[in-house]
Amino acid sequence: MTTALTEIKHLPTLILLVCCEYLAIFKKTVAMHEVFLCRVAAHPILRKDLNFHVFLEYNQDLSVRGKNKKEKLEDFFKNMVKSADGVIVSGVKDVDDFFEHERTFLVEYHNRVKDASGKSDKMTRSHKSVADDCNRIGSSLYTLGTQDSTDMCKFFLKVSELFDKTRKIEARVSADEDLKLSDLLKYYLRESQAAKDLLYRRSRSLVDYENANKALDKARAKNKDVLQAETTQQVCCQKFEKISESAKQELVDFKTRRVAAFRKNLVELAELELKHAKGNLQLLQSCLAVLNGDT
Amino acid sequence: MAAEREPPPLGEARQPELEELEDGEDLFTSTVSTLESSPSSPEPASLPTEDISTNSNGPKTAEIILDDDREDLFAEATEEVSLDSPEREPILSPDPTPAITPVTPTTLVTPRMESKSITAPVIFDRSREEIEEEANGDVFDIEINVSDPEKVGDGMNAYMAYRVTTKTSLSMFHKNEFSVKRRFSDFLGLHSKLATKYLHVGYIVPPAPEKSIVGMTKVKVGKEDSSSTEFVEKRRAALERYLQRTVKHPTLLQDPDLRQFLESSELPRAVNTQALSGAGILRMVNKAADAVNKMTIKMNESDAWFEEKQQQFENLDQQLRKLHASVEALVCHRKELSANTAAFAKSAAMLGNSEDHTALSRALSQLAEVEEKIDQLHQEQAFADFYVFSELLGDYIRLIAAVKGVLDHRMKCWQKWQDAQVTLQKKREAEAKLQLANKPDKLQQAKDEIKEEIEEWETKVQQGERDFEQISKTIRKEVGRFEKERVKDFKTVIIKYLESLVQTQQQLIKYWEAFLPEAKAIA
């Protein structure tokens, strides 16, 4: 009978726990969406996109069609081609120092962010396990407190209460670490991947340009289809220069944003960790004061 | 004798002044009386009854002392003394250090302090004046440390030797400070001796730490890794707690075997503790037999106190096991957290290295450093989780098993008494039949025989009843003492554990406070 009662006692706590979890996940998702939209709005070209405006302004339901099978398959093949190409293209050394430096940097950075992101996830999950254990310990102590016939019962109940409260704080630490650290790293994992993709597209266009040059030389040598070759070459050249220019800007922006985002998140992380540690400390100290006063 | 008082209400702390002791309170008298449980062997020792009259300690006995060990000893003493029991035959067994055979507890006596021939266990006589003398001089003060684990020997015959240091002002010991080297089987041997002497008469003998074949094999084989160092440290701490609990028990403290264990430089090797020895196998068989018997004894519990206690200990056992499992999970997860934090720290350092923005790069390196320190913190906390909290729970789960064992002995004792009554009844019926029989020649002889047997069984029944009452009385006292100790232990340990948590949080605050300006400095 007693065990059933203790279960019921914990039912509101369970409901609360589930709500807290849901809230945490919801907060995360909202934050990520906000970052995405801000990015698009800040982008000189993308901000003018009509789809974007519709998304922000249309006050009724958007009927967004999901990708059908065909489109998904297309995406899949595109990725395959890209990775195969990427191997070929990355062999080409870049004339421009800036882009060469960026490429080396991005490749290494991307790998390290990936690693850090994974490790941060594991760390956050461990933190949550610890919080869950504290929860179980709290309820065991509660049962001990209700059953004990000696002086210990008040003691156990007080400590059980403490564990309940510190557990909540631990859970919040874990959630905040997840939000400020793990999510940051995940986001920049994807960003660095996008930057790499940009470089790839530029390299592709460079290869096209070089191929067009070779074709032009050949055409001039054979004196056949020179005009067509010239046009193709000019188009490639323009494309290449345009993409190079925008890529340069994008990469510079990428660095600025990255630094700002890391700064914001690290500062917030440190502030939250401090807040929680102080809260925890206060709980522990006041509990100890009560317990020491009793004995 | 009949109405054993309930375990006194706790919470009334009181400081006994030493003047009370100087009044000539017979502290050790009481401990003598506790060992006067009649032996289970049929021949009562025909020895002169020690004339130990008691001082009137009536009013003082009701109060409970919670503060420290020394007061506990006196508290027990004062309680004991007022419950003056008529049978006061001290049992002086000629063989105080048994192997496995059940033996009666030796009387609590220590030799006159002038004679120094005490290394071998001997029967001692004690006069009242001596007891008073000791009572006046002594304060319950004994501190035991187990330290310096040292590997002795090589290969599979190797073993760990631990240094056992005793610091005491008790006059029963030769010196005030001394130390000896003991190995694990010595501790088991000590426990085995104490258990054989005291368990079946109702004393809660603290259980020794558990054997671990896996752990020890690793040590023997010579693996110098962290898991075997941890194992040795865990064992050392457990042995220390075991001895500290044992000496806290006022009756056990007086035992010559315990004294020999603490004092003498050479100890006969306790081979009987090996699991696969003849004695070990006998033990296992006995345990199995006990388990079967327990199921078949249906006792008429007339005493509500015992019924209640039985239930309470069952519940406590269950809950402690659950709590223990949760705390073990916590230890495990915290160790994982520590490892994951360390891994993340390294990863963050690498990331900082490849980051080409200088200020951010520096901040990331700082973050890596903070996380590394935090990982250390988690490790230390995990140690505290384990050594302070988890091991305490483990100890108490084993202690409660000892309590249950003692309650079982009481049941067996009751059974024995009942059986004796049944046999007596049968003999009486046989006698009655003989009275009505008509065979004159054999009759007289048979009648005489039967009469003798009846007398014998009458004595046995009386003895059985006395044994049962004695064990019940002892258990009540022991349980009272146990509960007090438990409360004290748990409070101390839990407070210590919370203090470790406080320290961790304080450190965390320091680390993050140091990091914050670094993060803000990113430009």
ipTM: 0.76
HSE-CB of B477 using CA atoms within 13 angstroms: 30
Q: Which helix (H) or strand (E) holds A149?
A: none
Give the closest-approach CA distance of A218 to chain B in angstroms. Answer: 43
Based on the fold, state whether residues A173 and A288 are members of the same structural domain: yes
Residues of B in contact with A152 (CB under 8 A): 486-487, 490-491
Arithmetic mean of pLDDT, B361-382 = 92
Per-residue DSSP letter, B265 = S
Is residue A262 within 8 angstroms of chain B, CB to CB? yes
Instruction: Give pLDDT, residue B514.
Output: 94
Based on the fold, state whether residues A26 and A112 are members of the same structural domain: no
Which residues lie below 8 Å from residue B120, measured CB to CB, with a gap of 6+?
none
Q: What's the pLDDT tens digit per position in B421-461?
A: 999 999 888 888 877 776 666 677 878 888 888 899 999 99
For chain B, count helices (H), then strands (E): 15, 3
Is the residue at A274 inside a domain? yes
Confidence of residue A6 (pLDDT cuts 50, 70, 90): low
Per-residue DSSP letter, B390 = I
Is residue A112 within 8 angstroms of chain B, CB to CB? yes
pLDDT over threshold 60, residue B89: no
- Greater confidence (A143 vs B97) lies with A143
Taking CB atoms and an 8 Å limit, are B312 and A149 in contact across chains? yes
pLDDT over threshold 60, residue B67: no
Q: What's the pLDDT tens digit per position in A226-250?
A: 888 889 889 999 999 999 999 999 9
Arithmetic mean of pLDDT, B55-69 = 38
Taking CB atoms and an 8 Å limit, are B319 and A267 in contact across chains? no
Distance CA A54, CA A255 (A): 29
Confidence of residue A94 (pLDDT cuts 50, 70, 90): low
Which backbone phi and psi does A97 adopt, to 5 degrees? Answer: -60, -40
We report the CATH number of the domain holding residue A224 as: 1.20.1270.60
pLDDT over threshold 90, residue B297: no
Based on the fold, state whether residues A141 and A255 are members of the same structural domain: yes
> What's the domain count of chain A?
2
Is residue A264 within 8 angstroms of chain B, CB to CB? no
Comparing alpha-carbon positions, the chain B residue that sits nearest to A292 is B495
Distance CA B113, CA B124 (A): 12
Q: Which candidate in B65, B322, B354 is best for mutational testing of the A interface (most A CBs within 10 A)?
A: B354
C-beta of residue B273 within 8 angstroms of C-beta of residue B389: no
Arithmetic mean of pLDDT, A248-274 = 93
Is residue B347 within 8 angstroms of chain A, CB to CB? yes
Two structure tokens written together for A250: 């994008």
Instruction: Give pLDDT, residue B103.
Output: 38
List all residues of chain B from 147 to 186 with a beta carbon under 8 Å from chain A. none
Is the residue at A101 inside a domain? yes
Is the residue at A248 inside a domain? yes
Residues of B in contact with A1 (CB under 8 A): none
Is residue B6 within 8 angstroms of chain A, CB to CB? no
- Name which of B12, B122, B107, B30 is nearest B67 in CA terms: B12
Two structure tokens written together for A239: 């494309």
Instruction: Give pLDDT, residue B400.
Output: 94
Instruction: Give pLDDT, residue A25.
Output: 78
Confidence of residue A127 (pLDDT cuts 50, 70, 90): very high
Task: Point out which residues pair with B167 in neighbouring strands.
Answer: B143, B177
Taking CB atoms and an 8 Å limit, are B522 and A262 in contact across chains? yes
Strands (DSSP E) contained in chain A are none
What are the C-alpha distances in Å from B97 to residues A16, B32, B190, B193, B394? 61, 18, 10, 7, 29
Which residues lie below 8 Å from residue A209, measured CB to CB, with a gap of 6+?
A233, A236, A237, A239, A240
Is the residue at A235 inside a domain? yes
Based on the fold, state whether residues A25 and A101 are members of the same structural domain: no
Total CB pairs under 8 A between chain A and B: 160
Give the closest-approach CA distance of B497 to chain A in angstroms. Answer: 10
Is residue B315 within 8 angstroms of chain A, CB to CB? yes
Is the residue at A84 inside a domain? no
Is residue A263 within 8 angstroms of chain B, CB to CB? yes
Q: What share of chain B in percent tops pLDDT 70?
A: 67
**Residue of A122, A130, A144 lying closest to B323 (CB–CB):** A144
Task: Print burial letters for A156-185: b (CB count within 10 Å at least 16), e (below 16).
Answer: bbbbbbbbbbbbbbbbbbbbbbbbbbbbbb
Arithmetic mean of pLDDT, B316-337 = 93
User: Can you give the residue range of the structural domain that contains A28?
Assistant: 1-40
Q: What's the pLDDT tens digit per position in B233-254?
A: 889 999 999 999 999 898 888 8
Based on the fold, state whether residues A141 and A23 are members of the same structural domain: no
C-beta of residue B472 within 8 angstroms of C-beta of residue B299: no
Confidence of residue A282 (pLDDT cuts 50, 70, 90): very high
Q: What's the pLDDT tens digit per position in A28-40?
A: 788 778 777 877 7
Give the closest-approach CA distance of A216 to chain B in angstroms. Answer: 40
Confidence of residue B217 (pLDDT cuts 50, 70, 90): confident
Is residue A126 within 8 angstroms of chain B, CB to CB? yes
List all residues of chain B from 462 to 491 with a beta carbon under 8 Å from chain A. 483, 486-487, 490-491
- Name which of B159, B153, B222, B224 is nearest B188 in CA terms: B159
**Residue of B11, B513, B519 lying closest to A267 (CB–CB):** B519
Q: What's the pLDDT tens digit per position in A54-89?
A: 777 777 777 777 777 777 777 776 766 666 555 554
The Cβ of residue A47 has, within 10 Å, a number of other Cβ atoms equal to 12
Taking CB atoms and an 8 Å limit, are A274 and B491 in contact across chains? no
Comparing alpha-carbon positions, the chain A residue that sits nearest to B339 is A123
Per-residue DSSP letter, B83 = S
C-beta of residue B40 within 8 angstroms of C-beta of residue B199: no
Q: Which candidate in B65, B332, B333, B356 is best for mutational testing of the A interface (most A CBs within 10 A)?
A: B333
- Start-to-end C-alpha separation, chain A: 31
Go through chain B and tell me how many residues it has. Answer: 523
Widest CA span of chain B, in angstroms?
A: 122
Instruction: Give pLDDT, residue A259.
Output: 93
pLDDT over threshold 60, residue B68: no
Owner of token pair 């046999």: B423
Task: Point out which residues pair with B181 in neighbouring strands.
Answer: B163
Based on the fold, state whether residues A147 and A32 are members of the same structural domain: no
Taking CB atoms and an 8 Å limit, are A262 and B501 in contact across chains? no
Instruction: Give pLDDT, residue B441.
Output: 67
Is the residue at A71 inside a domain? no
Distance CA B57, CA B309 (A): 28
**Residue of B337, B487, B501 lying closest to A127 (CB–CB):** B337
Distance CA B121, CA B109 (A): 11
Taking CB atoms and an 8 Å limit, are A284 and B363 in contact across chains? no
The Cβ of residue B251 has, within 10 Å, a number of other Cβ atoms equal to 24
Q: Which helix (H) or strand (E) holds B160?
A: strand B159-168
Two structure tokens written together for A233: 């070459």
**Residue of A130, A277, A288 lying closest to B334 (CB–CB):** A130
C-beta of residue B160 within 8 angstroms of C-beta of residue B184: yes
Arithmetic mean of pLDDT, A196-213 = 89
Mean pLDDT of all residues in chain B?
Answer: 74
Instruction: Give pLDDT, residue B94.
Output: 40
Taking CB atoms and an 8 Å limit, are B351 and A113 in contact across chains? yes
Based on the fold, state whether residues A22 and A115 are members of the same structural domain: no
Is residue A252 within 8 angstroms of chain B, CB to CB? no
Based on the fold, state whether residues A146 and A3 are members of the same structural domain: no
Distance CA B400, CA B513 (A): 46
Based on the fold, state whether residues A35 and A143 are members of the same structural domain: no
Residues of B in contact with A138 (CB under 8 A): none
Give the closest-approach CA distance of B495 to chain A in angstroms. Answer: 7
Confidence of residue A261 (pLDDT cuts 50, 70, 90): very high
Residues of B in contact with A157 (CB under 8 A): none
Which backbone phi and psi does B204 adopt, to 5 degrees? Answer: -85, 100
- Over the Cα atoms of chain A, what is R_g? 29
Instruction: Give pLDDT, residue B140.
Output: 66
Taking CB atoms and an 8 Å limit, are A123 and B340 in contact across chains? yes
pTM, full prediction: 0.69
Instruction: Give pLDDT, residue B476.
Output: 92
Residues of B in contact with A259 (CB under 8 A): 357, 359-360, 522
C-beta of residue A294 within 8 angstroms of C-beta of residue A154: yes
Instruction: Give pLDDT, residue B401.
Output: 92
Is residue B289 within 8 angstroms of chain A, CB to CB? no
Comparing alpha-carbon positions, the chain A residue that sits nearest to B496 is A288
Mean pLDDT of all residues in chain A?
Answer: 84
Give the closest-approach CA distance of A243 to chain B in angstroms. Answer: 23
Give the closest-approach CA distance of A152 to chain B in angstroms. Answer: 6
Confidence of residue A51 (pLDDT cuts 50, 70, 90): confident
Is residue A116 within 8 angstroms of chain B, CB to CB? yes
Two structure tokens written together for B440: 């004159």
Distance CA B126, CA A51 (A): 103
Based on the fold, state whether residues A31 and A145 are members of the same structural domain: no
C-beta of residue B166 within 8 angstroms of C-beta of residue B253: no
Owner of token pair 């220019």: A245
Q: Of A246-260, A263-277, B113-127, B340-354, which gets the smallest average pLDDT?
A: B113-127
Instruction: Give pLDDT, residue B4.
Output: 41
Confidence of residue B119 (pLDDT cuts 50, 70, 90): very low
Residues of A in contact with B505 (CB under 8 A): 277-278, 280-281, 284
Residues of A in contact with B347 (CB under 8 A): 112, 115-116, 119-120
Instruction: Give pLDDT, residue B377.
Output: 92
pLDDT over threshold 80, residue B388: yes
Instruction: Give pLDDT, residue B223.
Output: 65
Is residue B496 within 8 angstroms of chain A, CB to CB? no
- Name which of B347, B338, B336 is nearest B377 in CA terms: B338
Based on the fold, state whether residues A27 and A99 are members of the same structural domain: no
pLDDT over threshold 90, residue B80: no
Is residue A6 within 8 angstroms of chain B, CB to CB? no
Q: Which long-range contacts (C-beta less than 8 Å, at least 24 apart) are formed by B346-353? A: B347/A112, B347/A115, B347/A116, B347/A119, B347/A120, B348/A116, B350/A112, B350/A115, B350/A116, B351/A109, B351/A112, B351/A113, B351/A115, B351/A116, B353/A112
Helices (H), B249-277: 250-253, 256-263
Is the residue at A65 inside a domain? no
List all residues of chain A from 172 to 211 with a beta carbon under 8 Å from chain B. none
Give DSSP secondary structure letters for A178-223.
Answer: IIIIIHHHHHHHHHHHHHHHHHHHHHHHHHHHHHHHHHHHHHHHHT
List all residues of chain A from 141 to 160 with a beta carbon under 8 Å from chain B. 141, 143-144, 147-152, 155, 159
- Start-to-end C-alpha separation, chain B: 84
Based on the fold, state whether residues A217 and A153 are members of the same structural domain: yes
pLDDT over threshold 90, residue B342: yes
Would the CA dihedral through A133, A138, A143, A148 be positive or negative? Answer: positive
pLDDT over threshold 50, residue B105: no
Is the residue at A46 inside a domain? no
